[in-house]
Chains A and B, each alone.
Chain A
Amino acid sequence: MPCVLLILVALSQIYITQTNGLLTPAKGGGFGMFSTVDKLNNRVVIVSGVFDKREVKIKVNTNDPFFKKFLEKEWQKARAYPSNSNLRELGKTLGKLKLSKTPDYIKIQVKKCVFDNQTASIAYETVNELSMPYRQTRK
């Protein structure tokens, strides 16, 4: 029974990563952790607020105890698997942030590191992004 479970989980992880390209191969139970540069630590989440068509980057302090308590779970989930629904969940959770000015929209981007083996150069490319109306839930 545990072997069947392992096979089902690993095959579904391979299927998800190969079909939509959103999930990092290093997560999800497929044993791709030591095979790719596209690991969780090499992905970044960028949050921006849109104020009257003007986009401003919102700095989220990931070392803040508030982040650890209220945002980290959704943040890491969106970072590992930035599907539209996971990004939407993160967007809702970001409503807990205390911002000096409330944006009309919030834009979330997840980028992954790409490494050129020949030239040893790096760049970041977008895995997925989503804009949604911002609703502050923290007074």
Chain B
Amino acid sequence: MKKIQKLLDKIGSIESMDLALKATLVLFLFSEWVVGDDWRFMAPILTLSALGLVIPELHKNKYLWYVLAIVLFLKTTANWWTQDNHLFVNLYWVIAIAFALSFKDSVGILARNSRALIGLVFFFATIWKILSPDFSSGTYFHFTFLTDSRFAEESQILGDQSRTDIAENINMMRKVASNEIETATLKSNDSIRLSTKFITWHTILIESLLALVFLLPSRFKLTNYRNYLLLLFALTTYLTMPIHSFAWLIIAMGISQTHEKEKHDRSLFILSLPIMLTYKFVPFMQWIADAF
């Protein structure tokens, strides 16, 4: 037990900003989702990320991050209406890094910006969930579990919905979309209705709590739980949600906002980075589904 504690202390002693910056460059170097397939943006993002990781101390150079910010800004404006919302967060994060590195108290500035960005992302995600009748009625998750093959294992575990059922539902959607038929009823059942209702309320609860603990000033006691809540969210949500690059980014941002007094929390964040990678490559959900 003492050895584990020692190891956690050692991991937690790694400088938060140093690690967050390197983790961001690693993400940019290896994530196709971030880089995209347009060579005009791909070439500078990959080159700058590789140089930032290879040349000592370059990852702390503000000019590297300003150039990256310009490239990501141009990429965002070129794909404004079609790119994922998470890619907007990449841009804000890189601007925050460049901005923080321009000041003496870069660690403190980055920590404050990171905290605010995480809080705002969850705040607007919650606002949309409240605004959208599809979400509060449970429609969104119900429909997703019936038609999105990326959630086939979850549908099987929670709603006894087979891959064949999902394939048939997708086929029905195709028929309606192509006007072969006007309307269709998808294969569903009571247990999927009930479980998706539970997931709906669990999501809105955890996301609104995350917004609250990350946006509240640190004098509020509730904010003491922000790191654990973010870890809980990342470890449970990204096990099922296929957005691992964003999971990596949110953990990197989480690391950067840990205080010197929170070395234990920082070590847990650092250890969760490889877990996010295993989520991408190890079929945990498939194993659980097979056991059912």
Q: How far apart are the CA atoms of A111 and B172 in the complex, in Å?
A: 16
Chain B residues within an 8 Å CB radius of A9? 88
Q: How many residues of B contact A (CB 8 A)?
A: 49
B99 within 8 A of A: yes
B142 within 8 A of A: yes
Q: How far apart are the CA atoms of A39 and B84 in the complex, in Å?
A: 11
B132 touches A32 (CB 8 A): yes
Partner of A10, one of B96, B124, B183, B186: B124
B22 within 8 A of A: no
Q: How far apart are the CA atoms of A66 and B139 in the complex, in Å?
A: 37
Chain A residues within an 8 Å CB radius of B81? 23, 27-28, 76-77, 80-81, 86
The 3 closest A-B pairs by CB, nearest first: A32-B128, A2-B92, A120-B188
B135 within 8 A of A: yes
Interface residues in chain B, defined as those with a beta carbon under 8 Å from any beta carbon in chain A: 80-86, 88-89, 92-93, 95-96, 99, 113, 116-117, 120-121, 124-125, 127-129, 131-132, 134-135, 137-140, 142-143, 146, 172-173, 176-179, 182-188, 203
A35 touches B184 (CB 8 A): no
Q: How far apart are the CA atoms of A3 and B124 in the complex, in Å?
A: 12
Chain A residues within an 8 Å CB radius of B131? 14, 18, 25, 32, 35
B82 touches A117 (CB 8 A): no
CB within 8 Å of B: which A5-41 residues = 5-7, 9-10, 14, 18, 23, 25-38, 40
B127 touches A113 (CB 8 A): no
Q: How far is the CB of A10 from chain B (nearest CB, A)?
A: 5
Residue in B closest to A119 when the chains form the complex, CB atoms: B185
Partner of A2, one of B85, B96, B185: B96
CB within 8 Å of B: which A60-112 residues = 73, 76-77, 80-81, 86, 111
Chain A residues within an 8 Å CB radius of B85? 26-33
A121 in contact with B140 given A14-B131, A31-B121 (CB within 8 Å):
no
B132 touches A111 (CB 8 A): no
